[in-house]
Amino acid sequence: MYHLGYSNSKYLKFLNKMASIFSKIASGEIPSWKIAEDSRFYAFLDINPISKGHTLVIPKKETDYIFDLDSEEFSSLFAFAQKVGLAIKEAIPCKRVGVAVLGMEVPHAHIHLIPLNSESDLDFKKEKLQFSTSEMELISKSISSKIKI
């Protein structure tokens, strides 16, 4: 058994804690700049955006790895993300909305929707953008007002 610097149970508790962050956001326990929701899915602005309007789309039911979703939930998640992506494109000046799935930080399946003007905009290593609370509020309202769900 390899060693991660944690005892096994401490590591599992750490993972559980991380997994619950997005569930707490979806339930409203942790605040977020909400873009849209229905009974199964929730979309909100990324707190450390790599581009203006960077949005995350999650299933409310906790599953870590996106390819472990059952195929119906997987396709419904992408159908929901499509509606959000179309709204982002209408609200935020950009050439396209890019799609990325990483899950390196938060083990709760999520899709990144990222407004792009060039290839280099899709770079998770670059310095994150900073927006004030009122700017985040404005961005989320401008996108959510374009949602057709």
Q: What is the spatial distance between Cα 62 and Cα 16, in angstroms, rounded to a whole number? A: 10
Residue 135 contacts ligand 5GP per CB under 6 A? no
Size of the site for ligand 5GP (CB under 6 A): 14
Residue with tokens 């599992």: 12
Nearer to ligand 5GP, 7 or 101 (CB): 101
Residue 137 contacts ligand 5GP per CB under 6 A? no
Nearer to ligand 5GP, 102 or 149 (CB): 102
Closest CA to 45 of 135, 117, 116, 126: 135
Q: Which residues are catalytic?
A: 110
Query: 53-82: which residues touch ligand 5GP (CB under 6 A)?
Result: 56
The contact set with ligand 5GP (CB under 6 A) reads: 21, 25, 32, 44-48, 56, 102-106
